[in-house]
Amino acid sequence: MQTREVKIINQGLEDETEVWGYLPCLWKRILVGVGAVFSGGLLLLLLYWLPEWGVKGTCTHTSLRNAHTLLLRTTDEFKQWFRAKVHVMSAPGNKPFDSLDLQSTAQLPNGDGEHGISAERVEHHGKFRQPVQIHYFTHHSTKYYWNDVIQNFELFKGLEDVKVSCASIHSDHSSGLSQTLQDYRRLFFGENEIAVRVPSLFKLLIKEVLNPFYIFQLFSVILWSAEDYYYYATAIVFMSVISIATSLYTIRNQYVMLHDMVAAHSVVRVSVRRGSKDIEQAMSTDLVPGDVIIIPANGMIMPCDAVLIHGTCIVNESMLTGESVPVTKTSLPSSGEEASMSLNMEEHKRYTLFCGTHVIQTRFYAGDLVEAVVVRTGFSTEKGQLVRSILHPKPTDFKLYRDAYLFLLCLVGVAGIGFIYTIVLSIMNKVPAKTIIIESLDIITITVPPALPAAMTAGIVYAQRRLKRVGIFCISPQRINMCGQLNLVCFDKTGTLTEDGLDLWGVQSAEGGRFSPPEADAAKESLVNTVFVACMAACHSLTKIEGELSGDPLDLKMFSATGWILEEPTEEETTLHNPIMPTVVRPPKHSVPEANQNNPLTHNMSCEIGIVRQFPFSSTLQRMSVVVRRLGEKRMNAYLKGAPEVVASLCKQHTVPQSFTETLETYTRQGFRVIALAHRQLESKLSWHKVQSLSRDLIETNMEFLGLVIMQNKIKEETAGVLLELRQANIRTLMVTGDNMLTAISVARDCGMVRAHERVIIADAAPPKDFHPASITWHDTDNPAQTNKDNQTVEINLEDGVYDKRVTQQEQSYHFAVTGRAFAVITEHFPQLVQKLALKATVFARMAPDQKTQLVEVLQSIDYTVGMCGDGANDCGALKRAHCGISLSELEASVASPFTSTTSNISCVPNLIREGRAALITSFCVFKFMALYSIIQYLSVTLLYSILSNLGDFQFLFIDIAIILIIAFTMSLNPAWKELVWHRPPSSLISGRLLCSVLTQILTCLVFQVLAFLLVRQQSWYETWTPQSDACNVSSSGLSHSRNVTSPHDHKNIKNYENTTLFYVSSFQYLAVAIIFSKGKPFRQPSYKNWPFMLSCVSLYTFVLLIMLYPVPAIDSFLEIVCVPHDWRVTLVIIVIVNAAVSFMLEILILDIILRRLVFRFNQGVNRPAEPPSADTPQEANDRWGSSFLSWLFCRRNKPPRVLYMHLALELQDAADWPPRPSTVTYASDLQSHISVPL
């Protein structure tokens, strides 16, 4: 019975995959074996290249439960196929977290076997227990185990799988695992290592050689050897060996680098808790989820993901976040609301020590050890997943590469026609069977050029080198071409558009529900001992590392502005004193009031503040807090700082000034970053131990508002200029930041992302609550003065359509601004509006890291080619997901980004786009040239086959090596054009202009080759050439060559007048199309600045012209060309000149002028004020008429846009209710209605 069941693994995740089960089938295998023998192994190669055929051709369908082989297919747009083998493992239980009733002395089986291997029984307590047989398979470094309950394979990530609460981590998992249980879990989770195996050179060689391209080359070499074309075959073999050696060297180097990066700290010795008291040393590779490890006082590199249950750690997470700012990690709450939540690595980041991160320091009290429970190991860790994404990247989806395969298929079709033509012609002329086979197969090797991939790669390699010179490093060279198509770039704000550090602009304290005047200096005597400054000095996560203050730059600026001093307890003090020695902050001695100094009881005591507990900053909660005790006082205080809106909501309303909203808006509109402070005196009954177990929700409530700290974040000098350059190049720019909305809008205006006359509409969404549906409130920000906009119009460039509808700037010039909270609500409850908002939204504020990634996906879903530029902090996901991610951080996190810039500003973005455009145009030029080269040679050979002739071995060699390879590799050297132009290069090879270009050149070459072929046969001196022929004497006795009399007879009929004529004509055709296709402006520097290319062209032109007009006997003999009359040589020069002139005229006049400017005008929108139709000049009227006529001729009238964002733009241009009017609300229940409400 055959079951065609399909299951899905990793459902809803990025690597969601469909799975089918198969069993080996004997008769299918026999058939495949017979087919492989008869096809000379080609069938096996085909099944190797196509895993789907490989499995279906040798196996039969079965259920997943009984399968021996699995067929997997990704559900994304790439639909990649993989095959996997099912293995069987013996274990005492079905799942890693099953409880085992085993003694520690019992020996666990670790039988990893194939099908049919029986496991031995396990003996304990004198009884036999039959182990369970568990089916599993490995895919992309991850193991999937069969689950009989869900009838599917499942993945075990770690301790999170059992949905354990934070409180139960403390109660049930804090004493560690027994050795037996650890061994049992290791059966499922394997060794705790991120194993990057460096493949042997032999394996890499086999994989590289089995590439279809090299197989085709091998076929070509065998064929050429059979024809005695040894020289060219040797040249191709030499090129292939160099290409394979270079490729192997590069691939192996990448593996070695990744292996070294991962292996540097992957195996360390760790202290593991066994039971409540025993602690033993173990290797980090033995760790499994549930183990409890001791973090040493001097720190360590984490070998796994673990959640902290005792103590505090200072961690450098630059490997993950790209930001080398030490982060404080506190222990997981054991009581309160948060303790009842299930453990979630994303939500509980601030308690988690991630694999690969560096624990710099630990803090422990009263002899307690700093302990952490292992949650994930190996490839399941954060670092493991990053390495896995590098080892198994998604294929680069780019239209150019898809079209290149289609184009090659067309060439194969042309080769097929030539193949049939050759066979028919040869049979008609009674040619021997061997010659028919060789010559008909030869036509295929001529039509599909073997040097094409190498020539295509050259342009990308040159671009990569040029990028390196301007400080941009690339780990994914194929993405350089994609950069040429970017039409939208997202920018992070802090550290990317603006300076990394913040400067303190001033402070504004609040007393009695009113704001005091702002003060520039927080360290002045009147403020230094106030609660406000005490909060600034104590509420932070700073620490001293080797005597230097270290931590978040914002915290550092605020603390240094107070002038206070931070002192930390030494290790001895922490261990010896039971009344704990906390971190202490105190004002400088000179600032303590004299009254206090004279009083022995309060001498410098009441001003010292000990930090008892920290609640680290949470990007989700947008706040941090500390519990402190002023030395000498009994009661503790809580200090809070965070986003002003959040802090105000946690304060008693009467303490928040009535002018709070207006004051905050005043600062944020000016681009300041505002932090609010609050405090609260805690109950006297709270002891140190009680505080340690309290949840932050109980402490961060009923606060008293203290005031605002105003920080200045300056825009980088280069920002405005770069954004203007991108705008002028028709590249849309967005800001995606974690900062305040109004601050972000202010920065967007200051840097030119939003212009002075443009409206900003804030979409403020609220989730459903108390039977009210989700809603979006639309309101304008205060609009700056608008100047001269009444008569302004702008041509809306729809880029890939022929629409130039003009609308007034007043209607069109608006931007949406969305917060992360609103984005989440709109994505969930208003899916119909997400794409409409994405079309005109420019500012995204308060965005979480995963929301940045989500936004990139939304923009890609409406067919934008998206770039992302960030400083590495929290941008890793978006950098990886974007078509082109540019990291401004040189830290290890940049391994997630295809591009890394050494300059810490956004000036790298236009550089990258310029080089991308140049590389893309170079790819088109080279592809067109190589296609024309193969077709020109195909035409020459086809014409010569008609007289049972061919090109000679050395003629092929001269054309393929001296002309084609030199030209193909030097034409790629044109540097990028110095400025970005309005329109982008074409993204497709199968586009009207490119096809017109190629087809017109093919026809031109065909006409002139046929003309020369027919004309030579019409000459009075023409005869069927023999060694005795002496055509030279017809017109000039001086050109007679004695070799014509003495040459041996040519069995292959290479030497003849037709061959010589076509060799000369085709040689000039190759050079002519090379120069025609080597375009310069507007994407590349002109070809005359590419001196290697120009030198090659001039040298080759001169050489071919000289041997044509003034033949050299030795060269003629080498190239197997015959002597023709001087008059015919002059005629050939005229034919060649006319051919070149016609080719230039067709390419430049028809394609570049008429078609580009009139028919394909949509590629060149112009952002200029438009005149009314009545003011058209005669030239413009003619252009419009010509455009209409040619558009009709080429069937382009009313052609809809090809990309989704243009469809949306067209729809919204005519929508009466879009954009929504200010002071209206849209409800999820009825998206069409807008209900006006006062705001």
Contact 391, 197 (CB under 8 A): no
**305 catalytically annotated:** no
SS3 88: strand
SS3 656: coil
Rounded Cα distance, 309 and 292, in Å: 9
Cβ within 8 Å of residue 972, ≥6 positions away: 455, 458, 459, 462, 922, 925, 926
Rounded Cα distance, 1140 and 1065, in Å: 10
Catalytic residue among 305, 442, 492, 552: 492
Structure tokens, 524 = 């002045």
Closest alpha carbon to 884 in 488, 456, 1212, 563:
488
CB atoms within 10 A of CB 1011: 14
Q: How far is CA 1121 from CA 443, 751, 1021, in A?
A: 21, 67, 17
Rounded Cα distance, 116 and 406, in Å: 46
End-to-end CA distance of the chain: 68
Cβ within 8 Å of residue 594, ≥6 positions away: none
DSSP state at residue 701:
S
Rounded Cα distance, 23 and 59, in Å: 5
Structure tokens, 690 = 């009680």
Burial class (CB in 10 A: 0-12, 13-18, 19+), 228: exposed
Contact 937, 427 (CB under 8 A): no
Angle in degrees, CA 427, 432, 436, rounded to 5:
60
Contact 1115, 1107 (CB under 8 A): yes
Q: How far is CA 987 from CA 477, 921, 993, 1152, 1233, in A?
A: 17, 9, 12, 17, 40
Amino acid at 326: P
- Please report which helix (H) or strand (E) contains residue 779, including its range: strand 775-780
Cβ within 8 Å of residue 1172, ≥6 positions away: none
Q: How far is CA 3 from CA 7, 53, 337, in A?
A: 12, 18, 49
Cβ within 8 Å of residue 609, ≥6 positions away: 534, 537, 538, 584, 585, 586, 628, 629, 630, 631
Residue 272: strand pairing partners: 280, 293
Cβ within 8 Å of residue 1034, ≥6 positions away: 1020, 1021, 1125
Structure tokens, 300 = 């360590």
Rounded Cα distance, 58 and 28, in Å: 5
Rounded Cα distance, 515 and 407, in Å: 71
CB atoms within 10 A of CB 654: 11
Residues listed for the chain: 1239
Rounded Cα distance, 869 and 193, in Å: 32
DSSP state at residue 307:
E
Phi and psi torsions of 694, nearest 5°: -70, 145
Amino acid at 788: N
Rounded Cα distance, 648 and 1063, in Å: 85
Rounded Cα distance, 479 and 885, in Å: 9
Q: How far is CA 575 from CA 119, 570, 796, 810, in A?
A: 51, 9, 71, 69
Catalytic residue annotation:
492
